[in-house]
Amino acid sequence: MKTLRYVIVGIGAGILSQHKMALELGSFELVGGMDVTENGRLRAGELRVPFYDDLNLLISETRPDAAVILAPHPFHAKLAIQLLDAGVHVLVEKPIAVRTSEADAMIEAAKRNGRKLAVNFQHRARGEILTLSRLIKEGQLGQVQTIHMVAAWPRTTFYYKSGAWRGTWRGEGGGVLMNQAPHNLDLWCFMFGLPKRVFSWTRNLMHDIEPEDTVHAICEWESGALGSLHISTAEAGRMETLEVVGTKGSAVVSGKELIFRSLKEDFALTAKTSAEAIPIITAELGEMQLQPGDGHHLDVYRNFHDAIVNDAPLLASGEQGRQSLELANAMILSSHENRPVELPLDRKRYDELLDELIAKSND
């Protein structure tokens, strides 16, 4: 397997522990790390690679094939564009950026330079998610009617105070929607695409932070499907649950389990032809073999390598990674303006809102 030369930008980030497993791959050679913190210098020393605090010097001296960006997301766009313009393939942590307009610029830079831009959405590679996606594509649920997702990502005051950038408009560009929820939003977009309309309520229910710790939203897709979403860092004791209901059956993902119920007859047909006012609905539990996939970071790295070397489709390309950000931006805009927001997102209006929120920030 061809070995690629990698650098890590933001090597001092806490999320590094999740990415270090890639060092075990024979296709991965770490040749340098960059950060602006002393913690980054320490991490580079532990990994026995040269440390840099200047991106241009890192690029010129290490000559990397690919870069992994772990820096806080307000820096993703600038760093990625600089690397892509230098001819380096880029894998960026979620979210792809803070503003959809920034993601647009990153995608354009990747196209301009003929380089890969991938986003670290490893949950796409979970076996139960891959299996549910297949069921939907094969029509085993019929016409999708409703989609419901709830998730709790409990966080503490200690967590938010562990970094001055956390829980601020200037430092994160949002709260739960920009930090924890991107994985959930990405699963929605992965299986159903972007909604055409969203109305949301962002609230701060517990934490002393500037942006939201909780979001509740309703969405409508072009197909007519409706969805609800509730995600919070102010709640605990609940598992991530995704329920999809269609005319031929329903499926529920709870944790790592997938439960599938198939109707004996498509309800779209039953509703039109039944002689009963309230028909008897029979369903059977579907037995299936989950597709292989643990949803680990290694799945992302193996795919990224295959994309660079063999031009394989990316697990989450820049264009696909932009969708969850666009949805998050739309939810923030909807709540702050108390109105439904149509997608595609009005980039200019969202940038104006975020600029206003940053101007009022305590940072």
For residue 140, the 8-state DSSP code is T
The rounded distance, in Å, linking the Cα atoms of 183 and 242 is 12
CB-count exposure of residue 188 (10 Å: 0-12, 13-18, 19+): buried
Domain borders along the chain are 4-123+296-316, 124-293+324-359
CATH class for the domain made up of 4-123+296-316: alpha beta
Residue 57: predicted pLDDT: 98
Residue 287 pLDDT: 61
Residue 173, pLDDT score = 96
pLDDT digits (tens, 9 = 90+) for 163-178: 888 999 999 999 999 9
Q: What is the DSSP string of 76-133?
A: HHHHHHHHHHTT-EEEEPSSS-SSHHHHHHHHHHHHHHT--EEE--GGGGBHHHHHHH
Tell me what pLDDT residue 232 has. Answer: 98
- Sign of the alpha-carbon dihedral angle for 15, 17, 21, 24: positive
- Tokens encoding 185: 């939003």
- The predicted model scores a pTM of 0.96
Q: Is the separation of the CB atoms in 55 and 78 below 8 Å? A: no
Classify strands 241-246 and 249-254 as parallel, antiparallel or unpaired.
antiparallel
Spatial separation of the C-alpha atoms in residues 97 and 109, rounded to whole Å = 14
Closest CA to 71 of 87, 95, 50: 95
Instruction: Report, in angstroms and rounded to the nearest whole number, the Rg of the chain calculated over CA atoms.
Output: 22
pLDDT of residue 279: 86
- 111-142 b/e with 16+ CB inside 10 Å = b? eebebbbbbbbbbbbbbbbbbbbebbeeebbb
Note if the bond before 95 is cis, omega within 30 degrees: yes
Q: Residue 354's closest CA among 325, 329, 322? A: 329
Cβ contacts of 293 within 8 Å, gap of 6 or more: 125, 126, 127, 129, 130, 299
Q: How many residues does the chain have?
A: 363
The CATH fold assigned to 124-293+324-359 is Dihydrodipicolinate Reductase; domain 2 (3.30.360)
Residues of the chain with pLDDT under 70: 286-288, 362-363
CA 96/CA 120 separation, integer angstroms = 8
